[in-house]
Amino acid sequence: MLRREFIQKIGIGCTSVSLLNGTLFGKNLSTKKKKNVLFISVDDLRTQLGCYGHEETKSPNIDRIASEGLLFERAYCQQAICSPSRISLLSGMRCETTKIYGLKYQLSEKWPDIISLPHLFKRNGYETISIGKIYHHSKDDLNAWSKKPFRAMKGSGYITEEGKKIVDINKATNPSAGSKGPVTEMADAPDNHYSDGKLADKAIEELNHLKNKAFFLAVGFRKPHLPFTAPKKYWDMYDPEKFELAENNYPPENVTTYSLSNYGELRNYYKMPKGKDPVNDEMARHLIHGYNACVSFIDAQIGRIMNHLEELGIKDNTTVILWGDHGWKLGEHGSWCKHTNFEIDCNAPLIISDPSMKNPGKKTKALTEFVDIYPSLCDLHGLEKPNHLDGYSFLPLLNEPNLPWKKAVFSIWVHKKYRYDEEIQIIGYTMKTDRYRYTEWKHTQSGVVKTVELYDHRLDQQENSNVVDNPEYATDLVELKEMMKKGWKSALPDSK
Per-residue pLDDT at 33? 83
Q: Identify whether 227 is preceded by a cis peptide bond (ω within 30 of 0).
A: yes
Distance CA(273)–CA(264), nearest Å, equals 10
How far, rounded to the nearest angstrom, does the alpha carbon of residue 486 sit from its chain's CA centroid?
Answer: 25
Per-residue pLDDT at 8? 39
How far, rounded to the nearest angstrom, does the alpha carbon of residue 451 sit from its chain's CA centroid?
Answer: 27
Share of the chain above pLDDT 70, in %: 93
Q: What is the DSSP letter of 244?
A: P
E strands along 34-178, which residues?
Answer: 36-42, 70-72, 75-76, 127-132
Residue 49 half-sphere exposure toward CB, CA atoms < 13 A: 34
Per-residue pLDDT at 495? 56
Under 8 Å between Cβ of 338 and 328: yes
- Residue 26 or residue 42, greater confidence: 42
Per-residue pLDDT at 23? 39
Angle in degrees, 0-180, between the axes of helices 82-91 and 373-381, rounded to the nearest 10: 30
Tell me which amino acid residue 80 is: A
SS3 351: strand
Q: What is the DSSP letter of 318?
A: E
H or E stretch covering 232: helix 232-235
Under 8 Å between Cβ of 64 and 330: no
Mean pLDDT of 212-235: 98
H or E stretch covering 170: helix 161-173
Distance CA(359)–CA(398), nearest Å, equals 8
Kindly report the number of other CB atoms within 10 A of residue 64's CB atom: 18
**Phi and psi for 353 in degrees, rounded to 5?**
-125, 130
Tell me which amino acid residue 247 is: E
Kindly report the number of other CB atoms within 10 A of residue 61's CB atom: 21
Sign of the Cα pseudo-torsion (395, 341, 454, 335, in order)? negative
* CATH fold for domain 36-407: Alkaline Phosphatase, subunit A (3.40.720)
Per-residue pLDDT at 441? 98
E strands along 188-288, which residues?
Answer: 215-221, 228-229
The answer on pLDDT for 28 being more than 50 is no
The residues assigned a catalytic role are 82, 136
Q: Could you give the dihedral angle defined by the CA atoms of residues 198, 323, 66 and 45, in that order, rounded to the nearest 10 degrees?
A: -80
Domain coordinates in residue numbering, the chain: 36-407
- Is 0.85 surpassed by the pTM of this model? yes
Q: What is the DSSP letter of 449?
A: E
Mean pLDDT of 83-111: 97
The answer on pLDDT for 26 being more than 70 is no
Confidence class for position 32, pLDDT limits 50, 70, 90? low
Confidence class for position 457, pLDDT limits 50, 70, 90? very high
Under 8 Å between Cβ of 433 and 442: no
Q: What is the DSSP letter of 179?
A: T
Give the tens place of pLDDT for each residue, 377-401. Answer: 999 999 999 999 999 999 999 999 9
Mean pLDDT across the chain, nearest whole number? 93
Burial zone of 124 (CB within 10 Å; 0-12 exposed, 13-18 middle, 19+ buried): middle
β-bridge partners, 347: 76
Per-residue pLDDT at 154? 84
SS3 241: helix
- What lies within 8 Å, CB to CB, of 151 at 6+ separation is 132, 133, 138
Per-residue pLDDT at 403? 97
Distance CA(329)–CA(340), nearest Å, equals 9
Q: What is the DSSP letter of 257?
A: T
The answer on pLDDT for 47 being more than 70 is yes
Give the tens place of pLDDT for each residue, 52-64. Answer: 999 999 999 999 9
The answer on pLDDT for 440 being more than 50 is yes
Distance CA(134)–CA(150), nearest Å, equals 10
Mean pLDDT of 103-107: 95
Under 8 Å between Cβ of 341 and 379: no
